[in-house]
A and B are shown apart, each in its own frame.
Chain A
């Protein structure tokens, strides 16, 4: 089901257009093809585990203005690709006490990392916990390379996440929510519906009950994270999911959770699972 623009929305646009500068409206029916060759699935049937609350899942790309949408259609226009190039250099650089680079074990990123981003966060049997891609990167640095861990939301980390994600562009997100990951997924689901802060808002209030609606000048999306890490025009850098979660929780006038901590790992797994079936888009471009 395509969510049509209601009369209310059209009225609001008309009022906005007459009275003052209107916020740039998105073309919610556009289709995303990157570099003329990667067909992105930006709308598809909701996975079974959320089919009771929505019929269709939509990429956040659909809710952005025409200009912002266009930036993601060509890697030469996508500012996030600059950081991907930087991480490609890092991939081959030796760092730490073991004299290794990423490439020492993983060879070419194109071959070794294809499909990885699509299944993260993922249960790690050895660690006995669900791990994010960022956790795995730091695990490699610390335990394989003997190198310093990167800051969870820092630029080195988001760039490396983006480089690895690019190798899965166009593949469907497919995180596992059953088996050993189920308890973490359940915890994330509970967080998604918990109304935090002095404003008492849950993720669901905006991103399940009100996607497609304007909140002030912002066009609410479903809060999908298939495009993360995302280049935001607002802060002109790549942002990973935990950094964005932190901003959202903060905006409910709440005490946030810690990026990289077990709470946000659970939330990331749950939110990622709501996008099972959408294409990996990273690095996406948003406002």
Chain B
């Protein structure tokens, strides 16, 4: 149900943000790359965030990060740092900034931006290898970013 309405909205409005959402081009990063305010005003769903992080067609965060809490998802990568304890090391605002566009926190980081829609070199139409025929949409929606952040803040060392 939710997915259908999101797809419909994307079709109707292209890359424009849903009413009440902060669009990818309107995000206010602090000097250190954090995002203080929620992108949607709706509390994130940590359980859904965990699913997004382990799903290849969504965040696929486990491709690069090992996350003990997601041990039931096979094959965690080792390109990025271990996510265990991320909720101790970072504030919610910092985590939101890192997921949306980590390059605002770490200049030159390999980590892709999950809430960005332009400024790319040779952007393609998803994984087709072809040029896009319409405006790109961010890899994750505003609410999906909030869901991932809600999960990350629960990752405490103890």
Residues of A within 8 A of B (CB): 8-9, 11-12, 15-16, 19-21, 23, 194-201, 205-206, 209-210, 213-217, 220, 246, 249-256
CB-CB contacts of B17-42 with A at 8 A, as 1s and 0s?
A: 00000000000000000000000000
B157 within 8 A of A: no
The residue in chain B whose Cβ has the minimal distance to the Cβ of A250 is B129
Q: List 10 A-B contacts (CB under 8 A).
A: A8-B78, A12-B76, A16-B75, A20-B72, A23-B75, A198-B120, A213-B77, A249-B129, A250-B124, A251-B127
B11 within 8 A of A: no
Residues on A with beta carbons closer than 8 Å to the beta carbon of B64: 215
- Asked if A246 and B129 make an inter-chain contact with CB atoms under 8 angstroms apart, the answer reads yes
- Asked if A197 and B79 make an inter-chain contact with CB atoms under 8 angstroms apart, the answer reads no
- Asked if A197 and B74 make an inter-chain contact with CB atoms under 8 angstroms apart, the answer reads no
- Asked if B122 and A197 make an inter-chain contact with CB atoms under 8 angstroms apart, the answer reads yes
The size bracket of the interface on B is 20 to 34
The residue in chain B whose Cβ has the minimal distance to the Cβ of A11 is B66
- Asked if B112 and A12 make an inter-chain contact with CB atoms under 8 angstroms apart, the answer reads no
State the Cβ distance, A27 to closest chain B Cβ, in Å.
18
Q: A197-B121, A250-B127, A250-B129 are in contact. Are A19 and B110 (CB under 8 A)?
A: no
B2 within 8 A of A: no
- Asked if B66 and A12 make an inter-chain contact with CB atoms under 8 angstroms apart, the answer reads yes
- Asked if A216 and B62 make an inter-chain contact with CB atoms under 8 angstroms apart, the answer reads yes
The residue in chain B whose Cβ has the minimal distance to the Cβ of A210 is B79
- Asked if A254 and B123 make an inter-chain contact with CB atoms under 8 angstroms apart, the answer reads yes
- Asked if B78 and A214 make an inter-chain contact with CB atoms under 8 angstroms apart, the answer reads yes
Q: Told that A12-B78, A253-B126 touch, could you supply 4 new A-B pairs with CB distance under 8 A?
A: A197-B121, A198-B112, A214-B75, A255-B130
Q: A196-B122, A199-B112 are in contact. Are A253 and B75 (CB under 8 A)?
A: no
Which of B66-108 touch A at CB < 8 Å?
66, 68, 71-72, 74-79, 82
- Asked if A250 and B78 make an inter-chain contact with CB atoms under 8 angstroms apart, the answer reads no
Residues on A with beta carbons closer than 8 Å to the beta carbon of B153: none
- Asked if B63 and A255 make an inter-chain contact with CB atoms under 8 angstroms apart, the answer reads no
Residues on B with beta carbons closer than 8 Å to the beta carbon of A198: 112, 120, 123-124, 136, 139
State the Cβ distance, A1 to closest chain B Cβ, in Å.
19
- Asked if B124 and A19 make an inter-chain contact with CB atoms under 8 angstroms apart, the answer reads no
Q: Which of B56, B72, B124 contacts A253 (CB 8 A)?
A: B124
Q: How far is the CA of A11 from the CA of B62 in the complex (A)?
A: 15
Q: How far is the CA of A251 from the CA of B123 in the complex (A)?
A: 11
- Asked if B66 and A15 make an inter-chain contact with CB atoms under 8 angstroms apart, the answer reads yes
The residue in chain A whose Cβ has the minimal distance to the Cβ of B137 is A198
CB-CB contacts of B125-144 with A at 8 A, as 1s and 0s?
A: 11111111000100100000
Q: Which of A21, A194, A209, A214 contacts B110 (CB 8 A)?
A: A209
Q: How far is the CA of A8 from the CA of B122 in the complex (A)?
A: 34
- Asked if A197 and B75 make an inter-chain contact with CB atoms under 8 angstroms apart, the answer reads no
Q: How far is the CA of A250 from the CA of B126 in the complex (A)?
A: 8
B154 within 8 A of A: no
Q: How far is the CA of A194 from the CA of B123 in the complex (A)?
A: 12
Residues on B with beta carbons closer than 8 Å to the beta carbon of A255: 122-125, 129-132
Residues on B with beta carbons closer than 8 Å to the beta carbon of A246: 129
B60 within 8 A of A: yes
Residues on A with beta carbons closer than 8 Å to the beta carbon of B123: 197-198, 253-255
Q: How far is the CA of A209 from the CA of B139 in the complex (A)?
A: 24
Residues on A with beta carbons closer than 8 Å to the beta carbon of B71: 15, 19-20
